[in-house]
C-alpha cells in the first residue's frame, strides 16, 4: 500500500510535465478517446495515406496553439460533431502533445 502511494507521488511530476502549458486544463484521456471515436485518423489517412498523421503539419498554417484550437473547432462545426468546448480543448491538447508540440 505504501509502495503504491509512493509510486503515485513519484509519477505525478511526470504527468504534469506531459501537460503542455499551452493547454493547461485539457483532459488528455478524453481527447484520445474522442479522436478514436470520431474517425479523425481514418479520414486523414484517406487524404495523405499512412496512419494519417502526415496531415498534421506543425510548420504549416497551424503554427500557434490558438490556430490548432481553431482548426479542431472548425472540424467540429464542419463535421457536425457537436463537441463541447472542453472536448475541443482536449483534442487539441492531444494533437499538440503528439504532433505540434507548442509550448
Ligand atoms: C471527413 C474527413 C475528415 C475528418 C473526419 C476529420 N478531418 Fe481533419 N482534416 C481533413 C482534411 C481534408 C484536412 C486538410 C484540410 C486542408 O489542408 O485544407 C484536415 C485537416 C485537419 C487539421 C489541420 C492539419 C494541419 O496541420 O494543417 C487538423 C488539426 C484536423 N484536421 C483535425 C481533425 C480532428 C481532431 C478530427 C476528428 C475530431 C478530424 N480532423 C476529422 C479531413 C477530415
Range of the domain at 59: 2-100
* Confidence band, pLDDT 50/70/90 cuts, at residue 92: very high
Give the position, in ligand 1's atom list, of the atom nearest the Cα of 57. Answer: 26
Q: Domain tally for the chain?
A: 1
What's the pLDDT score for residue 88?
97
Q: Report the alpha-carbon distance of residue 30 to residue 56 in Å, rounded.
A: 20
Nearest CA to 94 among 9, 12, 37?
A: 37
**Among protein residues, the one whose CA lies closest to atom 6 of ligand 1:** 40
Tell me the pLDDT of the chain averaged across its residues.
87
* C-beta 44 within 6 A of ligand 1: yes
Dihedral in degrees, nearest 10, Cα atoms 47, 62, 13, 89:
-80
pLDDT at 10 over 70: no
* C-beta 26 within 6 A of ligand 1: no
* C-beta 95 within 6 A of ligand 1: yes
For residue 62, give Cα distances in angstroms to 42, 45, 92: 20, 18, 11
Per-residue pLDDT tens over the stretch 17-55? 567 789 999 999 999 999 999 999 999 999 999 999 999
Say which residue, 59 or 6, is predicted with more confidence: 59
What's the pLDDT score for residue 83?
96
What's the pLDDT score for residue 3?
65
How far out from the chain centre does Cα 64 lie? 14
Give the position, in ligand 1's atom list, of the atom nearest the Cα of 76. Answer: 38
Give the position, in ligand 1's atom list, of the atom nearest the Cα of 81. Answer: 38
What's the pLDDT score for residue 103?
87
* C-beta 75 within 6 A of ligand 1: yes
Per-residue pLDDT tens over the stretch 53-67? 999 988 899 999 999
Amino acid at each position: 500500500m505504501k509502495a503504491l502511494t509512493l509510486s503515485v507521488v513519484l509519477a505525478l511530476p511526470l504527468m504534469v510535465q506531459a501537460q503542455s502549458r499551452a493547454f493547461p486544463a485539457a483532459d488528455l484521456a478524453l481527447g484520445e478517446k474522442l479522436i478514436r471515436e470520431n474517425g479523425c485518423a481514418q479520414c486523414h489517412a484517406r487524404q495523405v495515406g499512412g496512419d494519417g498523421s502526415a496531415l498534421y503539419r506543425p510548420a504549416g498554417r497551424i503554427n500557434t496553439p490558438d490556430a490548432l484550437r481553431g482548426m479542431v473547432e472548425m472540424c467540429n462545426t464542419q463535421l457536425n460533431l457537436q463537441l463541447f468546448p472542453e472536448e475541443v480543448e482536449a483534442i487539441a491538447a492531444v494533437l499538440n502533445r503528439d504532433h505540434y508540440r507548442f509550448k
